[in-house]
Structure 1
Amino acid sequence: MSLVLRNFALAALCFFAALALARLAEPPFRHAEGERPLAVFTPLRVERLTADNLADAMAAMPLRNRILRVGWDHAILTVDLAARPGSGQPAAVWEDVGTLARFSFAQVPNVKRLLVRVYGAGNRTDGALLIAADSRREDWTPQRLDELGSLRDLTDGDWRSQFRLLVTPAGRRWLDSVAE
């Protein structure tokens, strides 16, 4: 009988040891106050833009409008945005264009040209093209790039020529409607 009792005690000990180890390996269900769960992917710091790190660069960008499409071809960065409906427009669009220009011409050395298209709410096939901007590295000085931080309106003549800004008829109607 002592052999059966000893085997039973050993089995119970193994069971509780396995249970304790499993409990230690289990992550907590609730996070402590102020603690955020770790991201599965963290964007890398982009020193030079390539096709391999384009997604990381765009993920780290603090844009207020939704990205529809991004392209990178022969030192030309193309970004299509969907203007979010609601308050804060068109200032959010101007801010995003300024953020993209600062990234393209101040943070990474190999972007020669930036093309930005802004579509109405929806996607590229449903939404109408509102605004298109075409900017080149040689058009920018460090001082002019610093001024982008306080950019609130691209429609004045100076910024309009700097970005080679095109406002479509649908874009003009959109600007008029959000100004009201």
Structure 2
Amino acid sequence: MKPGMILTTSVLATVAAVFLLVAIQHLHIRTWGEDHVLPVTATKAPDELSDENLVDVLNSMHLTTPIARVEWKQSILKLDLKVIGTGTSYSEIYANMAAIAELSFRSLDNVEQVLLRVMAEDEWLHKQHLLLAADIRRNEWPMEAIDSLRNWNSPALSDELKAWFHIMETELWRKQFEMLNQG
């Protein structure tokens, strides 16, 4: 091979390699978004709740207490959580309440009020009994109240949390959780 031919081949190979590397880098930036890499499964919660996305939004919370009933009407979200048997703890219920409040008031713009009931279902008689109710309203409590509720470590809530979230406990709640914890 002639020396000129070797030089020309080397230059062409180098130029081709540079173009290929630039193309790969450009493809990488377009695909991965530079430093803003997100997993494929990451989804942003919608800004507003609607009849069309209600099931998907509520399902995204992964509550440990099942939802028995839900209604969405004119910026008011009504939810019933169903407790079956004695396997559900008060801390689990409080964590689920906090998750609902967090989604409703931190992620969604159009929820003004959440009416939440925690219902016990009698497996034998198929009757429901109210354990706890909350009327949570936007801007009536400090944002750290959600974390306080999520991390509360006693069946008896503080008067502050009860007032902020308008929580009412029934006698059945006290028998099931508060008195059980004392004895």
> Shorter-chain TM-score: which interval?
0.5 to 0.7
Shift of 1:68: 0.1
Within a 5 Å distance, the mapping from 1:79-98 to structure 2 comes to 79-87=79-87, 89-98=89-98
Q: Secondary structure at the match of 1:47?
A: coil
Shift of 1:136: 0.5
Shift of 1:64: 1.0
Determine the C-alpha separation between the residues in 2 that align with 1:117 and 1:86.
17
Determine the C-alpha separation between the residues in 2 that align with 1:178 and 1:148.
20
Q: Secondary structure at the match of 1:82?
A: strand
Q: Structure 1 residues 103-112 or 154-163, which shifts more?
A: 154-163
Instruction: Tell me the TM-score normalised to structure 2 length.
Output: 0.66
Pair 1:54-2:58 in alignment: no
Determine the C-alpha separation between the residues in 2 that align with 1:138 and 1:155.
20
Pair 1:102-2:134 in alignment: no
Within a 5 Å distance, the mapping from 1:18-167 to structure 2 comes to 45-87=45-87, 89-122=89-122, 126-153=127-154, 155-167=157-169
Determine the C-alpha separation between the residues in 2 that align with 1:174 and 1:143.
28
Q: Which amino acid aligns with 1:136?
A: R
The equivalent of 2:171 in structure 1 is 169
Instruction: Tell me the TM-score normalised to structure 1 length.
Output: 0.67
Q: Which amino acid aligns with 1:169?
A: E
Q: Secondary structure at the match of 1:93?
A: helix
Q: Which runs of 5+ in 2 are unaligned?
A: 1-42
Determine the C-alpha separation between the residues in 2 that align with 1:108 and 1:152.
28
Q: Which runs of 5+ in 1 are unaligned?
A: 1-42
Q: Which amino acid aligns with 1:141?
A: P
Bigger strand share: 2
Aligned length: 137
Shift of 1:177: 5.4
Determine the C-alpha separation between the residues in 2 that align with 1:60 and 1:91.
20
The equivalent of 1:14 in structure 2 is none
Contact 1:98-1:148 at 8 Å conserved across structures = yes
